[in-house]
Structure 1
Amino acid sequence: MAGEIFSRYEIKYLIPFELYETLAERLKERMSFDKFGDGEGRYTITSLYFDSPNRDIYFETKNKKRYRQKLRLRIYNSATLQDNAYLEVKKKYKKRVNKRRTSINLAEAYKYINNEVAGEDVINISNRQIFNEIDSFRNLYDLMPDNIVSYDRQAFSGIEDEDLRVTFDYNLRCRKDDLRIENGPHGIHFVDPELVILEVKVNFSVPLWLSQLLVELGCEKKSVSKFCTTVELLEGEEFTEKHNIAVR
C-alpha cells in the first residue's frame, strides 16, 4: 500500500451485509476498484494495536477527546518476518483524521516493540522523521502491544475525485492471545458477521451524488471504534463494570 501521509475526514456507517452488496454494485457506476486490492478491490488487513498500562489510548478514544491518537503495526493480506509492515500513528483532531506511517521490516519492528533495539538504532524503515515521531509518542505513553484486529475490506476510489475513497469492512475479528500479525487474520468476531462497517473518506465534503445515494439506500451514520470495541470485548465484563462503560 503506497503513501505515508494522509489527512481527511472519515464518516462511518454500520450497515447490513445485503445493503453493502447493493451499495457496492451502485458504486461501480461512479467509482473504480481500489488499485491496491485484487480485481475487485478486496484485501485483508491485520493490525497490532498498542496501549499504555493505564489504557490511556482507550480512554482518550472512548471519551472522544478532541485530540487523540493511536499506534498500530499493520500488514495487508499476508507477510513473513522478511517482509515489510507499516508502523503508523493515527491522529484525530476536530473530526479530521491524520495518518502518518513508515514501512518497516517486520522482524525489525518486533525487535523495536520488544525493546530489543533502541529507536535510534532501528534500520530498514522508509521515513526516519515519521519513525522518530512514532518513537516519541510510544515513549511518552509507554505503549506496548495490546491486541490484534483483522478484517476483510473492499475498497473503491473516485474516478473524477481521486481523493474520494469508500471502504467496506467485514468479518471483523480480534485477539490478544497471539500478538504476531504474520500469523494471519484469526480471532473472535467483535462485530456481528452480518454487519459491515462502511467508511466514506474525503478531503473536504462528500460529493452530492454519494450523499443522495446513501440517503436513498437508508444508510445511517454510526461511529464504530474497532479499537475500543475490541478492548471491551477482550477485557470482559469486569473491565466495563469497573469503569462504568456502556457496551454497544
Structure 2
Amino acid sequence: MITKNPVKLRHELKQLINPQDDLILSSRLRKLFPHDKHSCSRGTYRVSSLYFDTPDDKALRQKLDGVNLREKFRIRYYGTDTSFIRLEKKWKINGLCGKSSARITSTQVQDLLEGNYRFLLVSNDPLQIEFYSKIKGQLLCPKTIVVYEREAFSYLPGNVRITIDRDLRSSMGKHDFLNPDAYRIPVSDSFSVLEIKYDEYLPDIVRMAVQCENRRTTAFSKYMVCRRYD
C-alpha cells in the first residue's frame, strides 16, 4: 500500500536584486549565517533543472495569471553530478509553497526524454506514479532547461533558507540536459534572485539581514523567464 506523508507548507519571498545589492547582501549574509552543506569551497553550486508543462503551457499560463492553486514538475541535479537526480513537484496554495521529491536515475531521465515513462507506473513512489498520471492525462512533456549558480545560507530558528541565484541560463534543446558542459544561453547578468523560505515565522535577524533599499517582493519565476528562449 502506498501512502503519502503530509508536506509542510512554507512561506517564500522573492526579490530581484542588482549586482551592487548582490555584493552587499552576500557579504553581509556570509558574516551572519553558514553556507549550505553542499556548497563548494566558494560557497556556491550549480543547479540544473528540466521543467515539464502541458502542450498548451498550463503551468506557465497559471503563473502569468496568478492562479492561487498551481503546480509544476521538474527534474533537477546539482553541479556536474548526474548520479544524484530528483524528480520534484512544487505547488503553491494561498501564497504558501510545498515541495515533494523522489530519486530518479540518469537512465530513467533519458527514458523520459525519449518518451519512455512506463517505469514510473511500476514504481512504489507516489510522486512518480502521480507524474505518470499527469503525463498520460495532461500530456506533460519537457519544455525548457534552467541553469544558474546558487549561494545558499541557513538559519535554524524558523527553518530559514536564504538563497541568491546568479548567472541564469537556459537552453532550447532538451536532450542534452544530462550534459553539464552543454552550452546554455545567458538570460540575464543584470540581476540576481534573492529567495527567503521559512516556516511559521521569519526571525528579525533574517528580516534585517536581507533588507535592500527600494527593493520589493516579486512573483518572479525563473521558469517563466527562460521560456522566452524555447
TM-score range, shorter chain: 0.7 to 0.9
Counterpart contact for 1:35–1:41, Cα < 8 Å: no
Q: Give the deviation of 1:44 after TM superposition.
A: 0.2
Moved more, 50-59 or 134-143: 134-143
Moved more, 205-214 or 41-50: 205-214
CA deviation string 1:108-145 (max 9, x = no partner): 122145332412245xxxx7122222222333321001
Q: Which runs of 5+ in 1 are unaligned?
A: 236-248
Which residue of structure 1 aligns with residue 98 of structure 2? 98
Q: Output aligned runs, 1:200-219, within 5 Å.
A: 200-215=196-211, 217-219=213-215
Cα pair distance change 1:177/1:112, threshold 3 Å: closer
* Amino acid in structure 2 at the alignment position of 1:227: Y
Q: Output aligned runs, 1:85-164, within 5 Å.
A: 85-118=85-118, 119-121=120-122, 128-158=125-155, 160-161=156-157, 163-164=159-160
SS of corresponding position for 1:33: coil
SS of corresponding position for 2:31: coil
Q: C-alpha separation between the residues in 1 aligned to 2:208 and 2:77?
A: 34
Q: Output aligned runs, 1:47-62, within 5 Å.
A: 47-62=49-64
Which residue of structure 2 aligns with residue 225 of structure 1? 221
* Amino acid in structure 2 at the alignment position of 1:34: D
CA deviation string 1:27-62 (max 9, x = no partner): 233311111111343100011111111111111111
Q: C-alpha separation between the residues in 2 aligned to 1:47 and 1:216?
A: 28
Q: Which runs of 5+ in 2 are unaligned?
A: 1-6
Q: Give the deviation of 1:162 after TM superposition.
A: 6.5
RMSD: 2.2
SS of corresponding position for 2:10: strand
Give the TM-score normalised by structure 2.
Answer: 0.87
Moved more, 138-147 or 211-220: 211-220
Give the TM-score normalised by structure 1.
Answer: 0.81
- Structure 1 runs (4+) greater than 4 angstroms displaced: none
SS of corresponding position for 2:56: coil
SS of corresponding position for 1:183: coil
SS of corresponding position for 2:208: helix
